Amino acid sequence: FEFDTLIINGKIATASECFNGDIAIKDGKIFAIAPDLKSLKAKSVIDAEGAYVTPGGVDGHTHIDQENTPGAKDYPYRGCDGFESGSRSSVAGGTTTFLAFAMQHKHRPDHSLSDVIGHYHDLATGNSYCDYGFHLIITDPKPERLAEFPKLIPEFGISSVKLYMTYDSLKLNDYEILHTISTARKAGITPMIHAENVDIITFFSEELEKLDLLDPYSHARSRPALAEQEATNRAIVLSEVMNVPILLVHVSSPGSVQRIRKGQGKGLPVYAETCPQYLLLTDSRLQHPNYEGAKCVCSPPLRPSKEDLDGLWNGCRNGTFTIISSDHCPFRMYSDEGKAVAIKDSGKPGGDWRLIPNGIPGIETRMPLIFTFGVCTGRLSIERFVQLTSTNTAKLYGMYPKKGSIIPGADADLVIWYPQDKYKPTVLTNEMLHHDCDYTAFEGMEMLNWPRFTVLRGQVVWDADKGEVTGTKGYGEYVSREPSWFAKNQVLFDDITQTAWKNEWRPQFDRPLFK
Ligand code: DUC
Ligand code: ZN
Ligand code: ZN
Ligand code: ZN
């Protein structure tokens, strides 16, 4: 009996423990984990040299080849990464599976959800270096569309939908949200909510416009933290009313963290996501001269202070945050003529933040940044790192334990890091990255480690020693997902409505580990 690959001398870290050991891989799956497997025969051997071996990263929030990503004025921008460049960048940063958005368009009421999903499959099939799945974005929850929800898991393997509370072209009102999340619950689908109060944003935007304040920093002023906190609170209330688990995406402010924690303290199934940009960058980045601040425009915006960053790190440490995703949403800063895109499109020499698409790239930098600023600084234990960047994402979105785990039978998706004493601290530059974007908002940060090898279903798809992506386009597979692993464990109590509702989640208690 010959194994395909042995990974030896690893410091194997999972969501719950860390131990020295070897891993044997056969047919793309983890076959055995033991203190010493060096006597086994294998076609190839990777010596981890005592470095951490963690599950491959699972990025729960990416915009890949998505049409019509919002700018403040709903100007229809298309991101600069398709499945090929996005997935190439993903593996080079240790992420072996990402979830991208399949977006329903309000202006195409004739498109069924199946049409929308088919469109994104066409874009992705044959083009991806890593595994991927889809969330649906619902912008028009009319009855015919909600009637499609029950087939999303059985037919399409999609167990999550994103809803927006802001942007005119995307937003749902509370009534529409209630309808959508109650339908989602019955179908075992987890709603993800973009929580910002649209009226506060509209009011502030108009005031800034009157004052002719159109620089990138003013984008952040138009979306104050309280707009996020109010909508976060409202989303939690709507989820409580309907007794539906929800995930709050890209949470940027400690005030929102506190509201989420309060809900969780009541026993509500409220989950939350933050992103490296909210943990590491402040809005001083937007005040850069020469319009460079446009590179850091995202929604919700970067927040002002170190206390904001600390408050979010606290949420990562204390369990309020379930996952850290990239929100990879890349747009080129410069047009082919070398002009900043928002200056060119606005025709104003000073540019106009209302024409800056909202989002920054980050699929490749997410794992190394959180490793550097979380694990290496001692802010996060290695186990908590694994939870936040991989295992919890796989559980939350119904891919566990195939993804996000190091156990026999799971996909052999792994990151082998550098032994800490072998890695020479490296200053991050955009030239190191594999996306199709012309900048990274994290330029100049000192990295203290980087994925040395990324392994996807047993294949080495990124080799940092060689400095190259060694996987092939098209190797990446679609991941058909099940209902959230978390929802099945919801212990709902103290309310008759909740007790009455909860049976619908029950079938999942009987779900076997592997089919
Ligand atoms: N929401 C996202 O999730 N990404 C970018 C812009 C936005 O509003
Ligand atoms: Zn369209
Ligand atoms: Zn969003
Ligand atoms: Zn996003």
DSSP state of 320: S
Dist. CA 85 → ligand 2 center (Å): 22
Instruction: Supply the pLDDT for residue 495.
Output: 42
DSSP state of 342: H
Question: How many residues are given for the chain?
Answer: 515
Q: Nearest 5°: phi and psi at 11?
A: -105, 90
Instruction: Supply the pLDDT for residue 293.
Output: 94
Q: What percent of the chain has pLDDT over 90?
A: 82
Start-to-end CA distance of the chain, whole Å, equals: 25
Q: What is the 3-state secondary structure (H, E, C) of 120-143?
A: HHHHHCCCCCCEEEEEEECCCCCH
**Whether ipTM exceeds 0.90:** yes
**Amino acid at site 422:** K
Ligand approaching nearest to the C-alpha of 116: 2
335 pLDDT more than 90 = no
Residue nearest to atom 5 of ligand 1 (CA): 359
Instruction: Supply the pLDDT for residue 351.
Output: 85
Ligand approaching nearest to the C-alpha of 193: 3
Dihedral of the CA atoms 322, 373, 275, 188 (nearest 10)?
Answer: -20
Report whether 81 contacts 458 (CB < 8 A).
no
Instruction: Supply the pLDDT for residue 90.
Output: 98
Report whether 111 contacts 105 (CB < 8 A).
yes
Six token digits for residue 154: 């059985």
Instruction: Supply the pLDDT for residue 106.
Output: 87
Strands 446-447 and 414-417: unpaired
Burial grade of 167 (CB within 10 A; 0-12, 13-18, 19 or more): buried
Report whether 461 contacts 413 (CB < 8 A).
no
Q: Would you say the C-alpha torsion 451, 457, 459, 462 has a positive or negative sign?
A: negative
Closest CA to 159 of 247, 63, 263: 247
Q: Which atom of ligand 1 is nearest to the CA of 101?
A: 3
Q: Ligand 1 test: best mutation among 66, 99, 138, 358, most atoms within 8 Å of CB?
A: 358
CA distance 43 to 58: 27
Report whether 418 contacts 411 (CB < 8 A).
no
506 pLDDT more than 80 = no
Instruction: Supply the pLDDT for residue 339.
Output: 86
Ligand approaching nearest to the C-alpha of 110: 2
Instruction: Supply the pLDDT for residue 232.
Output: 98
Dist. CA 103 → ligand 2 center (Å): 9
Burial grade of 434 (CB within 10 A; 0-12, 13-18, 19 or more): buried
Q: Would you say the C-alpha torsion 498, 503, 507, 513 has a positive or negative sign?
A: positive
492 pLDDT more than 60 = no
**Mean pLDDT, range 438-459, rounded to an integer:** 98
**Amino acid at site 180:** T
Q: Which atom of ligand 1 is nearest to the CA of 250?
A: 3
508 pLDDT more than 80 = no
CA distance 361 to 79: 9
Residue nearest to atom 3 of ligand 1 (CA): 327
Instruction: Supply the pLDDT for residue 338.
Output: 85
CA distance 106 to 414: 39
Which residues are found with C-beta within 5 Å of the ion, ligand 4? 327
Q: Ligand 1 test: best mutation among 67, 69, 81, 198, most atoms within 8 Å of CB?
A: 69
CA distance 86 to 88: 6
CA distance 315 to 506: 30
Ligand approaching nearest to the C-alpha of 325: 4
pTM of the model: 0.95
pLDDT mean across residues, the chain: 92
452 pLDDT more than 50 = yes
**Mean pLDDT, range 1-25, rounded to an integer:** 97
Dist. CA 107 → ligand 2 center (Å): 7
Instruction: Supply the pLDDT for residue 75.
Output: 58
247 pLDDT more than 90 = yes
Q: Ligand 1 test: best mutation among 75, 169, 298, most atoms within 8 Å of CB?
A: 298
Angle, vertex CA 181, rays to CA 178 and CA 184, nearest 5: 150
Dist. CA 194 → ligand 4 center (Å): 8
**Mean pLDDT, range 280-307, rounded to an integer:** 95
Q: Ligand 1 test: best mutation among 63, 247, 363, most atoms within 8 Å of CB?
A: 63
Dist. CA 461 → ligand 3 center (Å): 30
Residue 336: pLDDT band by 50, 70, 90 thresholds? confident
Closest CA to 357 of 376, 381, 330: 330
39-67: pLDDT as tens digits: 999 999 999 999 999 999 999 999 999 87
* Residues 6 or more apart whose Cβ sits within 8 Å of residue 48: 7, 8, 9, 10, 11, 416, 419
Ligand 1 neighbours (beta carbon < 6 A): 70, 194, 249-250, 299, 327, 329, 358-359
Ligand approaching nearest to the C-alpha of 60: 4
Q: Ligand 1 test: best mutation among 77, 139, 198, 327, most atoms within 8 Å of CB?
A: 327
CA distance 5 to 43: 6
Dist. CA 436 → ligand 2 center (Å): 23
CA distance 27 to 276: 34
Residue nearest to atom 1 of ligand 1 (CA): 299
**Amino acid at site 307:** E
Q: Which atom of ligand 1 is nearest to the CA of 167?
A: 8
494 pLDDT more than 60 = no
Which residues are found with C-beta within 5 Å of the ion, ligand 2? 105
Six token digits for residue 263: 């809900």
Q: Which atom of ligand 1 is nearest to the CA of 300?
A: 8
Dist. CA 484 → ligand 2 center (Å): 30
83-114: pLDDT as tens digits: 999 999 999 999 999 999 999 998 888 999 99
Six token digits for residue 211: 């004052």
Closest CA to 372 of 97, 52, 14, 60: 52
Instruction: Supply the pLDDT for residue 74.
Output: 56
CA distance 505 to 515: 19
Instruction: Supply the pLDDT for residue 509.
Output: 41
Dist. CA 66 → ligand 1 center (Å): 11
Dist. CA 297 → ligand 4 center (Å): 12
Q: How far, CA to CA in Å, does 16 sit from each of 54, 150, 288, 420?
A: 11, 34, 42, 21
